[in-house]
Structure 1
Amino acid sequence: MHFGQGALIGVPRSVMAHSGLRGPQTSAMFAVVRLTNDQILENATGVGAPPPTWPRRELVVDLLHKAAFALATGLAADLLAAPSGPGPGQRHANLRPGRHADVGRLPVGVPS
């Protein structure tokens, strides 16, 4: 189950990297996706119980494992996506660095 689930849930992280969502903050976002996926499968199949019912030590270990998985998956996805250059999201952010609400869309014909 772990290998299949890992392969399946790695796809969204790859999509994130190719879209321009890269780095540790993105891996932290992905950790939430990874944990959610795991809990849905475990609770839907009846092999797990909701985390609030777990002993704290077991919960901490599980969260650390999911965080390590998310960081390793993120590092691999980011490295594999790097040769493609910045994704559309990063190109959009580069149009006007900083936090702005009025950047608008990427111009037509902006190279990939």
Structure 2
Amino acid sequence: MLTRAVPQGLVAGLVGTAVMTLGEKIEQRLTGRPDSHVPARVLERLAGLPEQPRRQPRALNLGMHYGQGTLLGVLRAVMANAGLRGPVASGMFTVIRLTSDQILENATGVGAPPQTWPRRELAVDVLHKAVYAFATGVVADALANRHGPGPGQRHAARRPGRHEDVAPLPR
């Protein structure tokens, strides 16, 4: 499963990041919101690079933005190959994407916990991460569907829901 999920996830994550970035650019044109340089600042801290607060490190920003989104796509592909597909799985993945950002931003001291953000800023971030998660999910699910249902889907086909009397799938 993992040998399939890794390349599928890299593709899905890259597509999801591109879709999210396009949505962000459209939103920024409409709202006038400037680019965030938080991804670059996080990467500077993680990589031990010198920090240059007056400089806007575009290459680092894009590298962290696309790198993190692409790599997280692998987890969504693992979900899809296990049988966690569709909108519910993408909703679950939205939380994972938001959590990943917050761990990195808060652990490096670059960001603050979301509950301290202005509500509008938080809503915009959640919206963009949901766009990423659902776009990534569409691609991951389509690629996983080529190989048929995942183990979880095959188990659910026996009897939907969680039941003690339904045995696990054979190995």
Q: 1:22 aligns with which of 71, 85, 89?
A: 85
Q: 1:87 to 1:59 in 2, by over 3 A?
A: same
* 1:5 correspondence with 2:59: no
Q: Distance in 1 between matches of 2:162 and 2:151?
A: 17
Unmatched segments (≥5 aa) in structure 1: none
* Aligned-pair CA distance for 1:96: 2.1
Identity %: 71
Aligned position for 1:94:
157
Distance 2:90 2:111 in 1: 25
Moved more, 48-57 or 94-103: 94-103
Alignment of 1:50-61 (within 5 A): 50-61=113-124
Partner of 1:62: 125
How far did residue 99 of structure 1 move?
5.0
- For CA contacts below 8 A with separation 6 or more, give which structure has more relative contact order: 1
Q: Which residue of 1 aligns with 2:97?
A: 34
Q: How does 1:39-50 map to 2 (within 5 A)?
A: 39-50=102-113
Helix, strand or coil at the partner of 1:60: helix
User: Scaled by the length of structure 2, what TM-score is found?
Assistant: 0.60
**What whole-Å deviation, never above 9, does each CA across 1:58-108 have from its counterpart, x for those lacking one?**
000001011111100100100111110001110111112455332111135
CA distance in 2, matches of 1:83, 1:5: 26
- State which drifts further: 15-24 or 45-54: 45-54
**SS across alignment from 2:146:** helix
Segments of 5+ residues of structure 2 without an aligned counterpart are: 1-63
Matches of 2:106 and 2:144 in 1, distance apart? 33
In 1, distance between residues paired with 2:101 and 2:153? 29
* Larger Rg belongs to: 2
| Aligned counterpart, 2:12 | none
